[in-house]
Homo-oligomer: A and B are copies of this chain.
Amino acid sequence: MPAETVNRQWLLARRPNGQVSVEDFARHDAPMPRADLAAGEILVRNLMFGFDPAQRGWMDDAPSYLPPIMIDEVVRGSAAARVIASANPAYPEGSMVRGLFGWQDYAVAARAGDPDLVSIPEDIAPEEALGIFGAASLTAYVGMFDVGRLRAGDCVLVSGAAGAVGSVAIQIARLAGARVLGIAGGAEKCRWLVEDYGADAAIDYRCEDVRARLGALAPDGIDLFFDNVGGTILEGGIAHIARFGRIVLCGAISGYNDVRGAVGPRNLMRMISQRAEMCGFILLDHLDRVPAAMADLRQWVRGGQIHYRTDIQHGFGAVPQTFLRLFSGSNQGKQLLRIDGTE
């Protein structure tokens, strides 16, 4: 740990040009944040970071649902933290919280500026708060039930199915009585889908013809496609969408780092002939559903009905390369980093 007067930070040094790299970030030592908290504010000590592909989008200078991260600004990101000073009775000193505290040791936060700020109950560990009970699982929940109108008997396809969102989406679909197909990269991840998450079948996009396999596995078409990938994977799903099928756009990781922009699905005519719909969504529009989602997830997780993986890296100095693991697909489940004694 550094001296308690220093606030270690990772800043956005430049905008990534296509593929994000460690050179896009810069280590910086800032002074401790001010201790004179305004009413409602808290001062937190980050203990663990959670990484999400959406952070890549915030690094581009483009309008989105959150403003772009500015150059030389601390990289916005999710963290589990302990409250070390509080001017907000909802988050007392000593309690644990989760929020968009950024890649730094300390942060001053308030509910108004951080839609993700929540208390972490005592029976939930930091890796659970950022992992199975984090935004990714809540995103899978509202994407499946509220946006995708998941129904028992649906044939459901999930892409990016071994990831933090996808693996929960797979299991929610199974618990709801759907038949579930998952797409992931590599034999090991495909084995997780079937053996651990209960998918009916897995497709390895690295070595299989996704479109042909979908035709064989879903001869009556895909009723609900929960897409985290975009590009040709999305195109493959559209090619086999069922009549009146629903496509939920949750992410498009295939295009995040492509300076030319993602490849677009060339078969949108199929959306017309099948009368299919496609809908983009983000969790922030569905925060009213979080209590119900948390109650269901807690019951499923504690009851052993939902399995999950976390990939915990270590050390503040490893933050950028840990983030990059998301885009090479080397993360083995939800990507986290524990801030411990190592630099």
List residues of chain B with CB within 8 A of the CB of A279.
271, 275-278
Which of A22-30, A108-116, A118-126, A261-269 interfaces with chain B?
A261-269
Q: Which of B57, B63, B249, B266 contacts A271 (CB 8 A)?
A: B249
Chain A to chain B: the 8 pairs with minimum beta-carbon distance, closest first:
A264-B264, A271-B280, A272-B280, A264-B266, A277-B279, A261-B266, A64-B273, A264-B265
State the A residues within 8 Å of B (CB): 57, 63-65, 230, 234-235, 249-252, 255-256, 261-282, 285
Do the beta carbons of B282 and A268 come within 8 Å of each other? no
Do the beta carbons of B266 and A255 come within 8 Å of each other? yes
Interface SS of chain A: loop
Q: Which of B64, B65, B264 contacts A268 (CB 8 A)?
A: B264
Chain B min CB distance to A131 (Å) = 22
List residues of chain B with CB within 8 A of the CB of A234.
268
Do the beta carbons of B269 and A268 come within 8 Å of each other? no
List residues of chain B with CB within 8 A of the CB of A230.
268-269
Do the beta carbons of A57 and B280 come within 8 Å of each other? no
Do the beta carbons of A274 and B269 come within 8 Å of each other? no
List residues of chain B with CB within 8 A of the CB of A64.
273
Do the beta carbons of B266 and A272 come within 8 Å of each other? no
Do the beta carbons of B269 and A252 come within 8 Å of each other? yes
List residues of chain B with CB within 8 A of the CB of A280.
268, 270-277
Do the beta carbons of A262 and B266 come within 8 Å of each other? yes
Do the beta carbons of A249 and B264 come within 8 Å of each other? no
List residues of chain B with CB within 8 A of the CB of A255.
266, 269
Do the beta carbons of B264 and A275 come within 8 Å of each other? no
